[in-house]
Amino acid sequence: MLDRKFIIENIQAVKQNCQNRNVNIEIDRLVELEQRRKKLLQEIEVLNRKANETAKSIGKAEASQRQAIIEEGRKLRQQKEASQKEHDRIEAETLEIQRVIPNMAHKAAPIGVDDKANLEIARGSTERTTFDFPVLDHVELGEKHDLIDFAGGARVAGHGFYFLKGAGALLDMALQHFAIQFLSEKGFIPTLTPDLARTEIMNGIGFMPRGPETQIYSIHETDLNLVATSEITLGGLHQGDVLAAEELPLYYCGLSHCYRTEAGAAGKASRGLYRVHQFTKIEMFAYTLPEQSDKTLEYLRSLECEIFDQLKIPYRVVDTATGDLGGPAYRKYDLEAWMPGRGEEGEFGEVTSTSNCTDYQARRLNIRYKNKGEKGTHFVHTLNGTAIATSRAMIAVLENYQQADGSILVPDVLQPWIGQKKIG
RNA sequence: GGAGAGGUGGCUGAGUGGCCGAAAGCACCGGUUUGCUAAAUCGGCGAAGGUGUCAUAACCUUCCGCAGGUUCGAAUCCUGUCCUCUCCGCCA
């Protein structure tokens, strides 16, 4: 959520930003409403003050006078209520508009209406593998070595679910271990988070569980929803808190299962593990001071690169275009790993995503910080980034590490967790 | 899941309709005094948002888990909700 004052003072910039992000929002309406609201608020405060004074005087007044003063107080309250009601109505409408305005985008973010405008800015240190044999995709590899059982998953929970078996299960957990150890050595706090969260928290992070076209599974007759990422729980962790400036930046590394309905994704249906309803993800989440967040985004990206460099998986880094940014993001980088079995002759596929959400989420969740000895508080900045989403990372590992004899080598850094050098 | 108790300022804790933004103690800050790893004594001391000022000052609003309601007036009464504790049940 953008600051209202900021919107009013930067109408043109906000409008331009909406256009760049390919969303249509009635900024003018918001401005007009806010002006009316402010005027009403002043009226209300005057009436309220008078009513308070009147109420206070009753206790001290003589019995004979009381009835008249009570009458006076009642009248003032009624007047106030009328104005208040109008104010609240305007406030609600304003907030509705304000909440859907996306975050401002970073000046350097490529401008464009969709992902076609995304800009490749770097490559990983691992060269793209060349194969002198017909490559299999991860579905075929999984079947060959009995690693992934999609039919079983469908039988139990429907399309989009799967069982990981044998070395497939071990590989998934090895990826988790690897990412958690990597990050905890960097000072991130390893965290196991709830897999469910209240609607209020989901909204604060920028997911709309009960809205149309939601990606979120909700639990019937409760206020709980299955999380789509531990970004939700790690961001919700400090809802309403006032953090001390000196404890920032605060780095968490969260492990959760992630559940996504993928509603409306039918057209983009992908084979195998690429787009599934449940996967496991190690997520980085940072709370920072405003002046730290630009640098922190680069830091999170560098960690993602390091992880995939250590896994020796070829990838490219993409600077996300304005139209492809999620609402809360100010700037976003994706890592796209080379997936040799994807498409006709291999394609890059998104494996991580890191965003600087500046104070957009913090404002919704009311997460602030305080400088020691200073009065007042400020909103923190929040950032998130994928360390490893196991399903997609697994695609990259299986497909890049396949050998001519049909076996699959295990990346060096994962071997300690799996206890074998190759699969099959 | 059932029954009960409770959520008050940095902490402990009093407060059942107006004199309560809230006693008292601890902690903290400042003064005095005696002196030496502290005691006595006096004074000060909640937060957020806003108006205002060069800056102070001053002022306003809101806040006793959270959200509503009753009332001229709510920490106090009512409803809902979240959380904590105790007992019972169930259980990895």
User: Distance between CA A20 and CA A104 in Å, rounded?
Assistant: 10
- What CATH architecture applies to the domain A115-423? 2-Layer Sandwich (3.30)
Question: To the nearest whole number, what is the mean pLDDT of chain A?
Answer: 90
**Domain-wise residue ranges, chain A:** 4-100, 115-423
A91 is catalytic: no
N- to C-terminal Cα distance for chain A? 51
Task: Calculate the angstrom distance between C1' of B28 and CA of A182.
Answer: 42
List, for residues A190-223, the tens digit of each pLDDT value.
Answer: 999 999 999 889 988 988 887 777 889 998 888 8
Query: Residue A36: its pLDDT value, please?
Result: 82
In this complex, the nucleotide whose C1' atom is nearest to the CA atom of residue A75 is B72
CA→C1' distance for A330 and B78 (Å): 46
How many whole angstroms separate alpha carbon A34 and alpha carbon A397? 53
Alpha helix segments (H runs only) across A259-413: 293-310, 360-365, 390-400
Residue A206 is predicted with a pLDDT of 86
Query: What is the model's pLDDT at position A87?
Result: 83
pLDDT class for A356, splitting at 50, 70, 90? very high
> Looking at the predicted structure, is the pLDDT value of residue A355 above 90?
yes
Q: Which residue has the higher pLDDT, A4 or A289?
A: A289
User: How many angstroms separate the CA of A315 from the C1' of B42?
Assistant: 72
pTM for the model stands at: 0.91
Query: Mean per-residue pLDDT for A68-84?
Result: 84
- Assess whether A240 (CB) lies less than 7 A from strand B: no
Q: Which CATH number fits domain A4-100: 1.10.10.10, 1.10.287.40, 1.10.3720.10, 1.10.287.980?
A: 1.10.287.40
**Does position A267 have pLDDT exceeding 70, yes or no?**
no
Which pLDDT value is given to residue A422?
A: 94
Average pLDDT of A319-332? Answer: 92
Asked whether residue A275 carries a pLDDT value surpassing 70, the answer given is yes
- Residue A336 in this model has a pLDDT that exceeds 90: yes
| Nucleotide of closest approach to A59 (CA, C1') | B18
- Choose from A8-17, A24-33, A241-250, A333-342 the range with maximum mean pLDDT: A333-342
Instruction: Please determine, for residue A269, whether its predicted confidence score (pLDDT) is greater than 70.
Output: no
Confidence of residue A266 (pLDDT cuts 50, 70, 90): low
Q: Is residue A96 scored above 60 in pLDDT?
A: yes
DSSP A228-290: S-HHHHHHHTTTT-EEEGGG-SEEEEEEEEEE---TT-GGG--STTSS-SEEEEEEEEEEE-G
Question: One of A21, A37, A260, A364 is an active-site residue; which one?
Answer: A260
- CA-nearest of A119, A25, A109, A121 to A322 is A109
Spatial distance from the CA of A221 to the C1' of B86 (Å):
29
What is the per-residue pLDDT for A264? Answer: 64
A85 C-beta less than 7 Å away from strand B: no
Integer Cα distance of A94 and A408 in angstroms: 56
Catalytic annotation, pick one of A230, A256, A293, A353: A353
In angstroms, how far is B16 C1' from A64 CA?
27
The yes-or-no answer on residue A350 being catalytic is: yes
Q: A123 an active-site residue?
A: no
How far does the CA of A77 sit from the C1' of B68, in Å?
Answer: 18
What's the angle, vertex CA A45, arms to CA A49 and CA A76, rounded to 5?
A: 55
Mean pLDDT of A319-347: 92
Taking residues A28-37, what's their average pLDDT? Answer: 85
Answer whether residue A268 shows pLDDT above 60. Answer: no
Question: In the predicted model, is pLDDT for residue A7 greater than 70?
Answer: yes
Q: Which nucleotides of B are covered by protein (CB under 7 A)?
A: 18-19, 48-50, 60-62, 71-73, 82
Longest dimension (CA), chain A: 103
pLDDT at residue A408 above 90?
A: yes
Q: Which of residues 366-405 of A touch strand B (CB under 7 A)?
A: 370, 375-377
Residues A138-147 have pLDDT tens digits of 999 999 999 9
CB of A48 under 7 A from strand B? yes
**A392 annotated active-site:** yes
- pLDDT tens figures, A148-166: 999 999 999 998 999 999 9
Q: Tell me if ipTM is over 0.90.
A: no
- Mean pLDDT across the stretch A86-99? 83
CB of A56 nearer than 7 A to strand B:
yes
- A331 as an active site residue: the answer is no
| pLDDT surpasses 90 at A263 | no
Checking if the pLDDT of A49 tops 70, the result is yes
Region A337-355 average pLDDT: 93
Residue A212, CB, strand B, below 7 Å:
no
